Structure 1
Amino acid sequence: MNRLQHATSPYLLQHAGNPVDWFEWGEEAFAEARRRDVPLLVSVGYSACHWCHVMAHESFEDPGTARMMNDGFVNIKVDREERPDVDAVYMNATTAMTGQGGWPMTVFATPGGEPFYAGTYFPRAHFQRLLAGVSEAWATERDAVVSQGAKVVAALAGTGTLPDGPLPGREVTEAAVRDLAGTFDTARGGFGGAPKFPPSMVLEFLLRHGTPEATRMAEATLEAMARGGIYDQLGGGFARYSVDAGWVVPHFEKMLYDNALLLRVYAHWWRASGSPLARRVALETAGWLLREMRTPEGGFASALDADSEGEEGRFYVWTPAQLREVLGAERGAFAAAAFGVTEEGTFEHGTSVLRLPADPDDRNMLDDVRAELLTARAGRVRPGRDDKVVAAWNGLAIAALAETGALLGLPHLVDAAREAAGLLDRVHISGGRLLRTSRDGRAGGNAGVLEDYADVAEGLLALYGVTGESRWYERAGALLDTVLARFPDGAGGFYDTPDDGERLFQRPQDPTDNATPSGRFAAAGALLSYAALSGSARHREAAEAALGVVTALADRHARFAGWGLAVTEAALAGPVEVAIAGAPDDPRTAALHRAALMAAPPGTVIALGDGGVPLMEGRGPVNGEPAAFVCRRFTCRAPMTTPADLTRELRTPAAG
């Protein structure tokens, strides 16, 4: 066992038995490289990464390759999910040097951490030649190697900035819709070609924008994904991406962040349309989160692996013979037709990924078949689970579960959101500062980055809007105070790491969305909501300044500004503020609350409960009846006491 046996990251623990003398990221590794006068080899990946497993089996478990690594380098293994800052700066270097990125990421750096050569997955023979070549260059051409590292760092120092501006207007969001329409796949949904990733933040923007064209693109994509192989037709939940343009064959890993974001979008689609498909997918995805991703402490695990029994997708795929074995001949044929399972197969070795191109006439039989197949599948060897709790992704899950539970009338989902928030409050948050990860109820040592603060604040504010429990509003406010104190870049944006965080060769800062909302756009959304509840001009101004960069992205790169555009829609709508005054246990209060939730325009904030939030101050029942006040920037219309009046007010153009 190497040094990683003491790690808390499941990904690092996967490598604890390698013959490679791995170090965790930290000063010990840098000091050892200086002492030995050798380069660093920094290997970055994550537990659910298929090609990370392949490179591990081919190279890191091979004694000969390990010997070359140990003799010539100090080797550092990094879990990108624990250290997104380290991942970000080295990914910038990798893409700058090679034109592409991905994981596993392999970076050679000076003992000071400056990268001079990088790549992603290397087959063993190629990797061994590379190790020999870098060792030779370090021994015979040291000055050139060090100079290359300095040049890379200097070049990266001048990149990544985008022009800021004022809060974008309607013309910017309209330009974004036109840009998205230019890459929209009218036949199969989604944007661009293969591989296709679920465009969660873009879909939220399109639903909020609400024009016929925006709604058409959103609904077509949501339906195509829900009926495709990227969605687990038996157990619910979405895989990371589709390897093809038609959503048929996924890359089978399942990530918490994808499912949290998509759960919220499908719930919002149901709210806007009443679609039975949207409701079913929201219910099933929420059920999957609680059944397969919840930890004993009440948080949510990071990911499920793509592989089981050494094969990608083995847990999920079926043959016609396997269907007949479980269901019998007649029902097996029904299942094969419904789910697109053929003798030729859509995946490997004659297996097929289950899809549901259309609902069959016999819905009851479909439900029975799904239940039986899910029970049978439970007897297979399950993919591994990365059970560390990441603060940011749990924040996304809290928001999704709280809102879905409230919209669909499922209190147990709200309870799950509350429990996850309690775990973050107990384990991750102290004095307004946030730790990024925990495992088994014990916090890790990695400081929270901007997305952690922003996404947790977003989740806590959503939870407050559903429960009226003011402590979540207060916790969010403390986190956002830290954002404003520690993360600003002085030009209206934010760095991804705090000003008192670890110094890397570059301070990471990326305003664009990736698989999750960028830290900057997530911060803008949480700041805007908090300002609407608190009346704080400081928070409102910071949110608007952070959104200024959206203008530079909207008309050519809207796919990378989805959350910024969604928050912009909320800002342009007000956002609308709804204060509901009345006894919490009064059914009339609950009816007003539900009306507000169901009719809410984009980004609406809802205040209720027993005070503690400025939006509630001075607003109470009217003639003894619970009342709802619809406001913008604390200027309110006349109070309403019936759900019908509140719904009408929220759905009029003047209110939304």
Structure 2
Amino acid sequence: MPNRLADATSPYLQQHADNPVDWWEWGPEAFAEARRRDVPILLSVGYAACHWCHVMAHESFEDDLVAAAVNADFVPVKVDREERPDVDSVYMAATTALTGQGGWPMTCLLTPDGDPFFAGTYFPKPQFLQLLGQASAVWREQRDRVLESSTHIASRLREITTATTPLPIDAEGLDRAAAILRGQFDDARGGFGGAPKFPPSMVLEFLLRHHARTGSADALAMVGATCEAMARGGMYDQLGGGFARYSVDADWVVPHFEKMLYDNAQLLRVYAHWLRATGSPLARRVVRETADFLVRDLRTTEGGFASALDADTVVDGHSSEGLTYVWTPAQLVDVLGDEDGRRVASLLGVTETGTFEHGTSTLQLRSDPDDEQWWYAARERLLAARAERPQPARDDKVVTSWNGLAIAALADAAVITGDQELLEIASRAAEFVVDTHLVDGRLRRSSKDGRVGQPAGVADDYGNLAEGLLALNQATGDPRWLGIAKDLLDTAVESFAAEDGGFHDTPADGEQLLLRPRNQADNAEPSGQSALAGALLTCSALTGVPVMRERADAALAAAGQLATRDPRFGGWALAVAEAAAAGPLQVAVVSPTPDDPRARKLLAITRAATSPGLVIAPGAPDTPGTPLLAERPLVAGGAAAYVCRGFVCDAPVTEPGDLRNALAR
């Protein structure tokens, strides 16, 4: 019989709905049950695309012996870390403090009041059974020691999450951060540090903006080398587009095969901005292919974007990582014939010994093919053949924050490449998320199949969705998106503000957890604090509301210590600080009609500019809800561009050359 998870909006929880373990969702009912039975909570945290979560589920949670031990002496609670990042953050802090490391699946034992007294990650079945037996005995026989330990752990966790000393990120700090990154850069392979290598999306965005503001050749070179290495290696899907989560090696050859929305959204935006800065043909190809991947493989029927594709492919009940994606020379010949198969094997680095497991190889495109038309025909045949293989599962959960990242990326890619269809797709995603996830003025974290979940939105949901809507506003000129973004930011400032000027992850009126989480590091995605800082900065430039700029500056200062000391974990804060240092540079392009040819030329010139402080307001003069267009008349009845700094504008220009000169000043 299905357990309590059958009706969950999380695909990860639904994966465990038929376990013999008597799972509960996180909530007061589970803790009340633990108090009633006088037993500990067994907290298990993971996510749908997690390889080792699947392994532990198969070994332990699907096993009757393990289930009997769990059900007898614990109240088991299953949490999707992507649906409840607040719960994950609190207990990951405990796990890291107790063990020195973290990861998923995360396994914690809690008192019925939620205080942790044991934490770890993956346990093989024998060790897990041993843990359950020992923990149950200690709970029964040494309760006082358990409670004393859990109280001490909870107290210590609260101490280490206190406010930081603000440090404004000035031009000197930005230069210092870039220099630190230069010292950590892998000149031979691109990227930073050794294996495993994660795509440094936000760091690359910072370096692109640093180059645009300062002209630093080093900054642009690090971006170019890293973007090229990632796009030519096995971490990039050479057939279907899109990036895997990370590379297990330093050379970007073997990926961890899960493909996450947040990675691909951020990388799509980075490659679009790299294309704008350099005109790189490789960047243009990656932008097109990654956008195709998002739309083809992650877009839901409602118009939003699903969270991820699994790392594993399941065949006959057994999971196999990478099965969908890897090839042998013989398999290439089977699809393409002898001559083309061998030619593609040479081009993509597919060898008899293999670069992955069991003689299979990941696909690398280390150099461009001599005949692009031949290659693209072969690529389509291989992609069609791959579609006949077993496919990884998709996590259909639509997360507010990550959809905000996707909306921003698609909007930017659309205006940089001129692909109007991408703009329409971004607009549809925005409509779905706003219409479904915004409930009574407050955001919810996620939905599935159009049904919104109960978990409240956290800070990065507000910041990243506002960022996406502001990018969409600048791409379309539709004032609706600016208005909604401003309302979201007003709510966020009221709900998430911290005493030091930064932001907590959870709202002041939200569920009271063991502690109020506040992650200040930009890790796989922007922290809530950095996301809100960036959106507040952009919104202030578009609306002229000075308090938004003040709040953005305060949030950046709250992030300043970490970002300037360890810039690999402060990439988005540094990128936002670059925008603050360079701006606001505001350009209003007024047009007599939506498709006026002169207005299109002026907009194209403006959108080709790389200043990180640039914001754009296209539309008719005095468009309601667009402050930058107020009192900006047409010139002689025709289109004109107003270049402004802090709402103080130069004389309007109507000629492309004059606009280029004005933007260059």
Following TM superposition, by how much is the alpha carbon of 1:439 offset from its aligned partner in structure 2, in angstroms? 1.0
Aligned-partner residue type, residue 106 of structure 1: T
Correspondence list, 1:411-560, <5 A? 411-560=420-569
* 1:3-25 superposed Cα distances (whole Å, 9 cap, x missing partner): 11121110000001100000000
Q: Which residue of 1 aligns with 2:138?
A: 137
Cα shift at 1:430? 3.2
Write the deviation string for residues 72-101 of structure 1: whole angstroms up to 9, x where unpaired. 100000000100000000000000000000
Question: Among 410, 420, 423, which residue is 2:419 paired with?
Answer: 410
Conserved 8 A contact 2:500-2:558: no
User: Residue 607 in 1 paired to residue 617 in 2?
Assistant: yes
3-state SS of 2:101 partner:
coil
CA-to-partner distance for each residue in 1:46-97, whole Å, 9 max, x for gaps?
0000000000000001100111111110000000010000000000000000
Q: Which amino acid in 2 is paired with 1:130?
A: L
CA contact (8 A) 2:178 2:207 kept: yes
SS at match of 2:584: coil
Does the aligned pair in 2 maintain the 1:256–1:393 contact within 8 Å? yes
**Is 1:166–1:544's contact at 8 Å kept on the other side of the alignment?**
no
Aligned mate of 2:652, from 606, 615, 639? 639
- Post-superposition Cα deviations, 1:323-364, rounded to whole Å, max 9, x if no partner, equal 000001110111100100000001011000001111122222
Q: In structure 2, how many angstroms separate the alpha carbons of the residues matched to 1:382 and 1:142?
A: 48
Partner in structure 2 of residue 276 of structure 1: 281
| CA deviation vs aligned residue, 1:288-346 (integer Å, no higher than 9, x gap) | 10001000000000000011121000000000000000001110111100100000001
Q: Which amino acid is the alignment partner of residue 218 of structure 1?
A: V
**Residue matched to 2:399:** 390
Is the aligned partner of 1:64 residue 2:65?
yes
Which digits, 9 at most, give the CA deviation of each residue in 1:577-632, with x for residues without a partner? 11111132212112211211111411411112241211211112112121111111
C-alpha contact 1:44 1:80 (8 A) present in aligned 2: yes
Q: Normalising by structure 2, what TM-score? A: 0.97
Match of 2:262 in 1: 257
- Structure 2 distance, partners of 1:365, 1:575, is 47
Moved more, 208-217 or 574-583: 574-583
Q: 1:162 offset after TM fit, Å?
A: 6.1
Rounded Cα–Cα distance in structure 2 between residues aligned with 1:551 and 1:265? 23
Q: Are 2:624 and 1:624 equivalent residues in the alignment?
A: no
Q: Residues 255-404 of structure 1: matches in 2 within 5 Å?
A: 255-308=260-313, 309=315, 310-404=319-413
Describe the SS at the equivalent of 1:318.
Answer: coil
Q: Name the CA shift for 1:428/1:206 in 2 (closer, same or farther; >3 Å).
A: same
The question of 1:30 aligning with 2:31 is answered yes
Counterpart residue type for residue 621 of structure 1: L
CA positional deviation for 1:555: 4.1
Q: Partner of 1:226 in structure 2?
A: 231
Distance in 2 of aligned mates of 1:166 and 1:430: 36
What SS does the corresponding residue of 2:5 show, helix, strand or coil? helix
Q: State how far apart, in whole Å, the 2-side matches of 1:138 and 1:192 are.
A: 43
Question: Aligned-pair distance for 1:200?
Answer: 0.3
Q: CA deviation at 1:161?
A: 4.5
Instruction: Indicate if the aligned counterparts of 2:563 and 2:573 stay in contact, CA closer than 8 A.
Output: no
Structure 2 CA distance for aligned equivalents of residues 555 and 21 of structure 1? 47
The answer as to whether partners of 2:167 and 2:559 remain within 8 angstroms in 1 is no
8 Å CA contact 2:208, 2:274 repeated in 1: yes
Structure 1 residue 537: Cα displacement = 0.9
Distance, in Å, in 2 between the alignment partners of 1:161 and 1:369 is: 57
Q: Structure 1 vs Structure 2: percent identity of aligned residues?
A: 60
Shift of 1:372: 0.9
Q: 2:633, 2:608 → 1: CA distance? A: 22
DSSP 3-state at the match of 1:194: coil
Once residues 661 and 254 of structure 2 are traced to their aligned partners in structure 1, the CA distance between those partners, rounded to angstroms, is 44
**Amino acid across the alignment from 1:230:** M
Letter matched to residue 589 of structure 1: A
Task: Flag the 1:597–1:164 CA change in 2: closer, same or farther, 3 A.
Answer: farther
2:277–2:610 Cα contact (<8 Å) kept:
no
- Deviation of 1:644 after TM superposition, in Å, equals 2.7
- Are 2:64 and 1:49 aligned? no
Aligned residue pair count: 652
1:151 aligned residue: 152
Letter of the structure 2 residue corresponding to residue 7 of structure 1: A
Q: Secondary structure at the match of 2:608?
A: helix
Q: Which amino acid aligns with 1:440?
A: D
Instruction: Tell me the secondary structure at the aligned position of residue 6 of structure 2.
Output: helix
**SS in structure 1 of the partner of residue 137 of structure 2:** helix
The Cα RMSD (Å) is 1.0
Bigger Cα displacement from structure 2, 358-367 vs 181-190: 358-367
C-alpha separation in 2, matches of 1:17 and 1:429: 32
Q: Is the 8 A contact 2:564 2:570 kept in 1?
A: no
Q: Is the 8 A contact 2:530 2:559 kept in 1?
A: no
Q: Which amino acid aligns with 1:302?
A: S
Q: 1: CA distance between counterparts of 2:562 and 2:443? A: 30
Q: Is the 8 A contact 1:179 1:554 kept in 2?
A: no
Superposition deviation, residue 550 in structure 1: 4.0
1:77-135 Cα deviation digits (max 9, x unpaired): 00001000000000000000000000000000000111110000001101111111100
Aligned partners of 1:3 and 1:22 also within 8 Å: yes
CA distance in 1, matches of 2:656, 2:443: 39
1:80 aligns with 2:81: yes
Specify the code of the residue in structure 2 equivalent to 1:76: V
Distance in structure 1 (CA, Å) of the matches to 2:168 and 2:662: 26
Aligned residue number for residue 188 of structure 1: 189
Q: 569, 578, 592: which one pairs with 2:578?
A: 569
> Which residue matches 2:588?
579
| Distance (whole Å) between structure 2 residues aligned to residue 288 and residue 388 of structure 1 | 17
> 1:429, CA displacement in angstroms?
1.1
Does structure 2 retain, via aligned residues, the 8 Å contact 1:339–1:354? yes
Q: Distance in 2 between matches of 1:570 and 1:608?
A: 20
2-structure distance, mates of 1:160, 1:181: 30
Deviation at residue 441 of structure 1 after TM alignment: 1.1
Question: How many Å separate the matches in 1 of 2:662 and 2:345?
Answer: 49
Segment of structure 1 superposing worse, 608-617 or 173-182: 608-617
Q: Distance in 2 between matches of 1:248 and 1:642?
A: 49
SS in structure 1 opposite 2:139?
A: helix
Letter of the 2:579 counterpart: A
SS of the counterpart of 1:6? Answer: coil
Structure 2 gap segments, 5+ residues each: none
Counterpart AA for 1:34: R
Q: 1:255 to 1:150 in 2, by over 3 A?
A: same
Kept in 2, the 8 Å contact 1:172–1:554? The answer is: no
SS, match of residue 629 in structure 1:
strand
Deviation at 1:647, TM superposition (A): 2.5
5+ unaligned residues in a row in structure 1: which ranges? none
* Counterpart secondary structure, 1:325: helix
- Greater shift, 623-632 or 385-394, is seen at 623-632
8 Å Cα contact 1:173-1:554 kept in structure 2: no
d(CA) in 1 for partners of 2:453 and 2:7? 12
The structural deviation recorded for 1:636 is 1.2
Instruction: With the length of structure 1 as denominator, give the TM-score of the two structures.
Output: 0.98
